[in-house]
Structure 1
Amino acid sequence: MIYLNQAGYAPNSTKRATITGNNHYNLFSADGKKILSGECTLEFDENSGENAAVIDFSEVTEEGRYFFADEDNFRSPEFVISKNHYDQALRDSMKMFYFQRCGMELEEKYAGVYKRKACHCGGGYILGDRFQRRKMLGGWHDAGDYGRYVTAGAVALAHLLYGYEMFPGALTLNLNIPESGGSLPDILAECKYELDWILDMQDEDGGVHHKCTSASFCGFIMPDEDDLDMVITPVSSLATADFVAIMALASRIYHKFDEPYSNTLAAAARKSWTWLIKNPSFIFENPKEVTTGTYEDLCDADERFWAAAEMYRLDKNEDAMKVILGTMELHLSMHCLGWADVAGLGTLSIINSGTDFFGKDLYNRLVMKWLDEADRLKLISQSNAFGITLRPIEFTWGSNMVILMNAMILCVAHKLTGDDSYLKSAQYQLDYIFGRNAMDLSYVTGIGERAFKHPHLRPTAADNIDAPIPGFVSGGPNFRPCDEAANPDNMSDVPAMKRYADDVRSYSTNEITIYWNSPLVFVLGYMNSL
């Protein structure tokens, strides 16, 4: 077997594939002409459980279509070598957010065959008081269900908006959405759809409610068929801090396009920052009446750090600087970019501000921490035949998210240093996502000859269309699967990289979510910016 990036490779990039079970390979052009032959020395790869080796075919630079074959006549998927090989993947992964929109009709001229009616237009009630309702219109469905969560949404927005801040040209694409051709670039118009919903989750005193979902998950029906009432759960410091950070960040990004809107976002950030300062110790637990996704986290120090970084960039707020300096003594992981651990987003904000805004000492300390993590990831990437930044035990729920966030760390390290070894390791993470893995699958719907087809996603399961909506990232292999399709008893002897089921029932390996797509957009955007 030969596993490779089914989305393709840039002409002058490092090009790698992985061969298993056979040590001889041939590379052919699509018309059958042999381009390259070679032999490899196989070694046991713990992640895949196979004897494997790396094929490096960087010497092949001519644009065109190719495929590999081994001595057992196994033929790989076809792939391209092209300067534009990631264009479709980037556009589709960006448009994924449009397909997750709640509260509006997806018209055929924008959604094609995936058109659907407006959903969840009845608002929601505050938990404990059914007579206190809010409009709750808009935002993105978080994942394969129809819930909307502030913490998850803020992190997805952060990946997109920091990407836009760092390399705006690469993310300024026409996505064919209703706002296309307007005053905002399409990616910012899409983000605004989520920001406007999150604004409605803020109370008058600045506290922000954690989530808006039904009390329990609905069945596998289209969103407009879901008539369960929406519940707005209590305020949390996690949601409030993430709210502060994303509103302050967005106010900076939108200022040159829409100053009044930017001012609205900034004012909302300031109000919630005041709430955070007044509530220094606050723990959130999912209410027992609501059994949808929890997004619980008993430590909010990292959320407060991210909020403080963005508030200092907004106002040079002295209370924010105190929080930042205090957090630096807590020994948090200052590079984490996920919903549970967001300190890396605060670090990214400080790094992006330059050497002088926060002071050179703080800037240099955080750059050093970031590069230390990038070096660690690079060493892991160089130690296995698939070039990935995970060890077997690290294939957690949403392992593809971890892979992509690691790629973000490596991309930023490359931007900071110009060291191409970081860029190569980041590219290997994309190789894995697009098919250089032991499942021989592209984990992005519609991209690659062997893309996964059955995401745990209600509209895809209920729309009676064979092909899934393109551009969605699968959660990926899970060392501890816990659903009927990826039954843990059946997977107990399966290597970590193969603990996966392309099955709509497999919520623990094959669900989708907005914050698994957003790091893919960031990484693809960075690659295209080069």
Structure 2
Amino acid sequence: MTLRPLIGASLLVLAACASDGAPDRSASEPTGPGGSPVAERASAIHVNMTGYLPAGAKRATVVTDAATPLQWTLQDAAGAPVAQGQTVPFGADDASGQRVQILDFDTVDRTGEGFVLTAGGAHSEPFDIKPGLYGPLARDAMAFFYHQRASTPIQAAYVGSAWARPAAHAPDAATCYGPKDARGNDWGGCPYSLDVSKGWYDAGDHGKYVVNSGISTWTLLNYAERTGGGLPDGALRIPEAGNGMPDTLDEARWNLDFMLAMQVPDGTTLRLPRGNQYADQDSLDFDTVDASGMVHHKIGDEHWTGLPMPPHEDPETRYLSYPSTAATLDLAATAAQCARVFRGVDDAYADRCLSAARRAYAAAQRVPDVLAYDVTPGGSGPYGDADLTDEFTWAATELWLTTSEADYEEDMRASRTFLAVPGAAGPARDIGWGSVEGLASLSLLLGSDALPEADRDLLRQSVVSAGDALVAEAEREGYGVPFDRSYGWGSNGDMANRGIVLAYAYDLTGDERYRTAVLGIEDYLLGRNPLGFSYVAGYGENALRRPHHRFWMGATVEGLPLPPPGALAGGANKTSPADDVAREIADSCAPMTCYRDDERAYALNEVAINWNAPFAWITAFLAED
């Protein structure tokens, strides 16, 4: 696909004029001689339905078979023309399966609410242009985590009566499933129970997973470290507001407490399967190991619950899954990061985190090859990972940044992914719960003064190079999103994680191209996509209403709430159609259109902490300006 220009259409800003009565949305329809309609028409104009910043890039996508530019008009809420210009032909857009043109109204500086774009007979949904647009959305995206808290009542004083619910899984105490798993393997059980209260429910189910909450916690702490605390005390409506600690740290701590509680007590021996035995999980081989300091992979229900099932009504018995090296390294990494970020805010908590991180890292070195296996007949997701190289890199890096100790530095530098950045040339993959090497590099970027000058320069160059590559991808896409790759499970979260890399490229250079690419991601999530759909609940005329969630089912079940504002759906998924809805459409949908707002579609429409975390990160970044 050739690179097409996004900028260059002529733009004429008009003086607003008074208008009485209903807005006239036909004023800008193209006409030929004598006033007859021209043949060049559009079928849709897709915009960010929440709106645009006055000083930011303002782009829309026009769906049309026209090969020549179309005249467009921006109208205010009264229907009066504010600006006019011409679209830029793009042509066939593979990801959407459409032919499109780009509508660029960057130079419009008029502010207000209810603007509408018209071109080729089509009209956009209304949107705002105003400063401060992303502040409320950033707070709502972060409030998602309070809604997902376990072991505490969700109080109407903070979320409103619709979303209030009693405490669930309080306490959340369990032992390991077994001694035999659902396949008949004899694990031997665990000689203890653990109270692993607190934490966030992972997604639409009631499981709590160390690896997925690990990357989510890192994301919140990373934003806090980048900004000197994150959202300040009192910014969020949470019980801890007013305690003198930044609210971002309060929220991250709720999950850190859960992760710390998942650590195996000292002096514990367990039967665990070592090495990659995924090919024959019906007959696992076990070794007896010193599991002290390892971390249980997850806690969840014995069986899957149906829809609906509010968490405080969950009837299932809950069990710990056995420790895994991946979970152990995730705790080592996030607890080391905790020790660094909380230092000077709560030194006792920082000390507790560092002690746990050291124990976990030592345990992972002692038992480096225990993978995660499902042991119950259902009730929770597997989160299995056969390659732990990246987790070792991440943990060693966070520990070195916190302690400056040579052993951790040696392990960090020995990794093939040392200084690798997602999107740049090299081995780093897109950031995800199973590909965390990029987290190590972004943490190093914040602490780059600790690196020798050559390493520091290489890392910064790699981040800028990654930003350049992502900007180039955005320019090759008809919907302006830096995502020229397959659309899989959680594609919206993948995009948001790319936005974090772009934001760091902007931090390093001040180059607006990188910030514009982040805005492109936000535009896509909020409606500038081929479905004209806002994947963010509560934002836009046509927004998420039916997520796969056992409590937020108000669209179909009387007495339950709709999803709260700021909750992000997983998004289009062509490559991993795991549920019936996704499978039904997978063969016929273009990648960007493989989505349905349907609570049955867990592979398309589930919400999850690891998607909302980067979404909150990039939205807070955009709110900074």
For the criterion TM > 0.5, the same-fold answer is yes
Letter in 1 for 2:247: D
Which residue is equivalent to 1:478? 573
1:171 is aligned to 2:241: no
SS at match of 1:195: helix
* CA positional deviation for 1:373: 2.4
SS at match of 2:448: coil
* CA positional deviation for 1:146: 0.6
1:147 is aligned to 2:207: yes
1:514 is aligned to 2:557: no
Which residue is equivalent to 2:406? 318
Correspondence 1:18-97 to 2 at 5 A: 18-21=61-64, 23-40=70-87, 41-71=89-119, 73-97=121-145
Aligned identity (percent) is 29
* CA positional deviation for 1:483: 5.2
TM-score, normalised to structure 2, is 0.81
Which residue is equivalent to 1:3? 46
1:187 is aligned to 2:280: no
* CA positional deviation for 1:131: 6.8
Unaligned runs of 5+ in 2: 1-43, 179-188, 266-291, 421-425
Q: Say whether the 8 Å CA contact 1:27–1:66 is kept in structure 2.
A: no
Q: Say whether the 8 Å CA contact 2:176–2:322 is kept in structure 1.
A: yes
Unaligned runs of 5+ in 1: none
Higher mean C-alpha displacement, 447-456 vs 147-156: 447-456
1:197 is aligned to 2:285: no
CA–CA distance in 2 between the matches of 1:491 and 1:146? Answer: 28
Provide closer, same or farther for how the CA distance between residues 288 and 119 of structure 1 changes in structure 2, counting only shifts above 3 A.
closer
1:115 is aligned to 2:164: yes
SS at match of 2:296: coil
CA–CA distance in 2 between the matches of 1:262 and 1:27? Answer: 53
1:293 is aligned to 2:381: yes
Correspondence 1:150-161 to 2 at 5 A: 150-161=210-221
Correspondence 1:427-466 to 2 at 5 A: 427-461=519-553, 464-465=559-560
Q: Say whether the 8 Å CA contact 1:475–1:510 is kept in structure 2.
A: yes
Higher mean C-alpha displacement, 323-332 vs 402-411: 323-332
* CA positional deviation for 1:229: 1.3
Higher mean C-alpha displacement, 184-193 vs 69-78: 69-78
Letter in 2 for 1:180: A
Provide closer, same or farther for how the CA distance between residues 463 and 116 of structure 1 changes in structure 2, counting only shifts above 3 A.
farther
SS at match of 1:174: coil
Letter in 1 for 2:358: R
* CA positional deviation for 1:487: 4.0
Provide closer, same or farther for how the CA distance between residues 131 and 508 of structure 1 changes in structure 2, counting only shifts above 3 A.
same
SS at match of 1:88: helix
Q: Say whether the 8 Å CA contact 1:335–1:373 is kept in structure 2.
A: no
TM-score, normalised to structure 1, is 0.95
Higher mean C-alpha displacement, 211-220 vs 320-329: 320-329
Provide closer, same or farther for how the CA distance between residues 42 and 300 of structure 1 changes in structure 2, counting only shifts above 3 A.
closer
CA–CA distance in 2 between the matches of 1:315 and 1:131? Answer: 34
Q: Say whether the 8 Å CA contact 1:30–1:67 is kept in structure 2.
A: yes
Report 1 or 2 for greater relative contact order, CA contacts < 8 Å, sequence distance ≥ 6: 1
CA–CA distance in 2 between the matches of 1:69 and 1:194? Answer: 43
Q: Say whether the 8 Å CA contact 2:417–2:427 is kept in structure 1.
A: no
Provide closer, same or farther for how the CA distance between residues 441 and 313 of structure 1 changes in structure 2, counting only shifts above 3 A.
same
Letter in 1 for 2:56: S
CA–CA distance in 1 between the matches of 2:458 and 2:152? Answer: 45
Which residue is equivalent to 1:16? 59
1:488 is aligned to 2:583: yes
CA–CA distance in 2 between the matches of 1:301 and 1:216? Answer: 32
Which structure is larger by alpha-carbon Rg, 1 or 2? 2
- For each residue in 1:411-446, what CA deviation from the matched residue of structure 2 results, as whole angstroms up to 9, or x when unmatched? 111112222211111111111111110110111101
Larger helix share, 1 or 2? 1
* CA positional deviation for 1:315: 1.4
